Amino acid sequence: MKSLRLTTAQALVRFLTAQKTEIAGEVVPVFAGCWAIFGHGNVAGLGEALWHARGALPTLRAHNEQAMALAAIAYAKQMRRRRMMVATTSIGPGATNMVTAAAVAHVDRLPVLLLPGDVFASRRPDPVLQQIEDFGDGTVSANDCFRPVSRYFDRITRPEQIVPALTRAMQVLTDPADCGPVTLAMCQDVQTEAWDFPESFFSERLWTPRRIRPDETELAAAVTAPRAAGRPAGAARGRQRAGSRRGRRTG
């Protein structure tokens, strides 16, 4: 099997640009762009990869993390969930600023891919700037705030983990039932680590909405109920209104 040696961030961006959908007969990218506020945790890895892919996945700079994530989900709503956007932030307060937007997307089932920077997987430089520590649990970071407001959450601590994680992310983002925010917390040192990714991982894929057929038993019951009604609800209300009008005129 052929492989490509890329950093985790490069592989992630290349995968995102290969995802397509069809709207009105035209094949277009699933991801229209990436909102970004760069800083400690995402500039050296994702920032570099996004710069090189700026033609295929435009980077949109913002001034507030919550606002840019809300703009991303507003775009998804406008596009009727057929297209969506990415949002990446630095570690710590930059990431937690997106939690409110993630909650909105979770409640409204709107797709958005959140890529907050995370701690060093190696733990060697810890503690680092803006890192929120839990001295009783080394696996906890600020990004755990996203767990209850994400349809799918994963923390990427090894390069090869993005292969199943991104596949699952796309399944959730494009599913009419499970649709909602996906959070992939990107450990900042892992973003720059290289791995031999299978070439097939970057093949173009067309995502189309999954249309679920109604249950035949429930549909038959819904059709039978009005036909079997002695006095259909609409006719009964009409007679009630007519009687009320006659009563007012008589009075």
Q: For the residues 26-44, what does the mean pLDDT come to? A: 95
Reported as a pLDDT band with limits 50, 70 and 90, residue 214 is confident
For the chain, the straight-line distance linking the first and the last C-alpha, in angstroms and rounded, comes to 88
- pLDDT of the residue at 124: 85
The DSSP call for residue 234 is H
pLDDT above 80: residue 217: yes
Tell me, yes or no, whether 226 and 163 share the same domain: no
Domain shared by 241 and 197, yes or no: no
Neighbours of 132 (CB within 10 A): 17
109 and 230 part of one domain: no
Instruction: Record the tokens describing residue 65, joined without a space.
Output: 């993390």
Q: How high is the pLDDT of residue 78? A: 96
pLDDT of residue 239: 62
Same domain, 235 and 120: no
Q: How many CB atoms lie within 10 A of CB 193?
A: 16
Report the pLDDT averaged over residues 81-89. Answer: 97
Q: What CATH number is given to the structural domain containing 61? A: 3.40.50.970
Rounded Cα distance, 166 and 219, in Å:
36
How far is CA 95 from each of CA 54, 59, 185, 222, rounded to the nearest angstrom?
Answer: 22, 17, 9, 47
Range of the domain at 22: 3-207
Separation between Cα atoms, residue 251 and residue 247, nearest integer Å: 6
**9 and 69 both lie in a single domain:** yes
Residues 189 and 220 in one domain: no
Same domain, 135 and 153: yes
CA distance 49 to 11: 9
d(CA 97, CA 230) in angstroms, rounded, equals: 57
pTM: 0.84
Q: Phi and psi of 248, rounded to 5°? A: -65, -40
pLDDT at 152 over 70: yes
Q: Are residues 222 and 153 located together in one domain of the fold?
A: no
Share above pLDDT 90 across residues of the chain, in percent, rounded to a whole number: 72
Name the least confident of 74-83, 204-213, 235-244.
235-244
Q: Where is average pLDDT lowest: 27-36, 59-68, 93-102, 122-131?
A: 122-131
Average pLDDT score over the chain:
91
The three-class DSSP label of residue 21 is strand
- Same domain, yes or no: 84 and 161: yes
Cβ atoms 195, 159 nearer than 8 A: yes
Is residue 10 scored above 90 in pLDDT? yes
The total number of structural domains that make up the chain = 2
Q: Residue 87 above 90 pLDDT?
A: yes
Question: Does 152 share its domain with 240?
Answer: no
Question: Mind listing the pLDDT tens digit for each residue in 106-125?
Answer: 999 999 999 999 999 998 88
82 and 135 part of one domain: yes
Tell which of 207, 224, 240 closes a domain: 207
pLDDT at 244: 65
119 and 227 housed in the same domain: no
